[in-house]
Amino acid sequence: MARTRDAIARNEAGAKSAARLLPRQLSDQEVALFGEAGQRRTVDRNELIFRRGELGRSMFVVDSGQIRLEFGNGLSDKVIGPREFFGELALFIGNHARVASALAVEPSTMVVIEHAGFERLLGREPALLANFMVRSFAYLVASEQQLIASLKRRNEDLLVTLDSLRQTQNQLSAAERLVQTDELTGLCNRRGLYGYLDRLSERRVPGTQVGLLLIDIDRFKQINDNFGHLTGDQVLRAIAQEVQQACAPCDLPCRLGGDEFALLAQVGSPGEFEQRAAQIVQGVRSLRFPEPSHELRVSVSVGGSLCDELSDWSHWYSTADSWLYQAKGTGGDGWRAQG
């Protein structure tokens, strides 16, 4: 009985720890468990680990170094660091085509967990691995939704262009949609945000609070000056994807203009609100860009506050902006939020 109670306590502690993790981070218990079951593999700089499209049955946990995931199709690359994992979908379902190529950014050490080893762990620590799988599937679903949304926006842009050339009546409805959408990033613009705020009471999710995050790119003028405005536009689109990635279905991401973004969120707790901010900062920090901008590193400052729903937008913005000012005052590449 004492052993059972200890196991339950460990699982409950692991679940609470996992709730504070960013999507690809592992808890101490998960790192130790996978370290016992996996095989260590060392790779050199620029060594290919697997190629996009090839079949696999293993997951990788980074012990040291950095691994770059290259998705292609115009999507931004991601860099995976220590205590983070990748390749998990192939582990869960077996013989799944890899959605990205993986190669070492620098000499790195990984723990490789094969399908059979994971099955044994699942029988040994079912509750701990169930929590891990829930987080993993939630992240995979969010990534797929972001990809679908991106493809949908491209398709909508094409339809709008065709409608414009044909001078059809559909052009009017398309133009109305574009008026509320930022053309560069596909996010909602200020006009769309104000329209959303007018109908916010109809969109409220019971049991949640409204929170506003303001996101500002650090030293964006230097990016344009040093790398050019085309690269600057690429940075804006990539950061828009990261803001979208941090959203729940009830949230509204938008580009307010220039290098300023916002996320209007409906959250169940201050911790969930802070998690949104942390995920955006970490996601942008891991962005990497192709030649000739491969040396470019981008960061953002994020400030935000839960909103007094008896106040108006200007008060929400002013409060969040004061926290953004604090984040930028410490050098950027971080967040400050008032729960």
Chain segment 286-337, per-residue pLDDT in tens? 999 988 888 999 999 999 999 998 999 999 999 999 999 999 999 999 999 9
pLDDT computed for residue 4 by the predictor: 47
CA distance 267 to 73: 33
pLDDT greater than 50 at residue 141: yes
Residue whose token pair is 């613009």: 189
Q: CA-CA distance, 207 to 50, in Å (whole number)?
A: 44
Q: Residue 14: pLDDT band by 50, 70, 90 thresholds?
A: very low
pLDDT surpassing 90 at residue 172: no
**Is domain 185-338 annotated with CATH 3.30.70.270?**
yes
* CA–CA distance, 207 with 188 (Å, rounded to integer): 25
Question: So what's the pLDDT on residue 123?
Answer: 85
Q: How confident is the model at residue 16 (pLDDT cuts 50, 70, 90)?
A: very low
* pLDDT of 25 higher than 50: yes
Angle at 192 between CA 188 and CA 195, to 5 degrees: 145
For residues 205 and 266, the answer to whether their CB atoms sit within 8 Å is yes
What is the average pLDDT value for the chain, to the nearest integer? 86
pLDDT at 20: 60
- What is the 3 state secondary structure string of the chain? CHHHHHHHHHHHHHHHHHHCCCCCECCHHHHHHHHHHCEEEEECCCCEEECCCCEECEEEEEEECCEEEECCCCCCEEEECCCEEECHHHHHHCCEECCCEEEECCCEEEEEEEHHHHHHHHHHCHHHHHHHHHHHHHHHHHHHHHHHHHHHHHHHHHHHHHHHHHCCCHHHHHHHHHHCECCCCCCECHHHHHHHHHCHHHHCCCCCEEEEEEEEECCHHHHHHHHCHHHHHHHHHHHHHHHHHCCCCCCEEEEEECCEEEEEEEECCHHHHHHHHHHHHHHHHCEECCCCCCCCCCCEEEEEEECCCCCCHHHHHHHHHHHHHHHHHCCCCEEEEEC
What residue spans in the chain does CATH classification 3.30.70.270 cover?
185-338
Residue 178 has pLDDT above 70, yes or no: no
* % the chain with pLDDT above 90: 62
The model's pLDDT over 47-59, given as tens digits with 9 standing for 90+, comes to 999 999 999 889 9
| CA pair distance 244, 246, nearest whole angstrom | 5
- The β-bridge partners of 86 are 60
The stretch 157-166 carries a mean pLDDT of: 64
Closest by CA to 217, choosing from 332, 76, 77, 79, is 332
CATH of 2-140, one of 2.60.40.10, 2.40.110.10, 3.50.30.30, 2.60.120.10: 2.60.120.10
- Summarize the confidence of residues 195-213 as an average pLDDT: 93
Compute the average pLDDT of residues 81-93: 88
Model pLDDT, residue 8: 46
Specify the domain boundaries for CATH 2.60.120.10 within the chain. Answer: 2-140
The predicted pLDDT at position 280 comes to 96
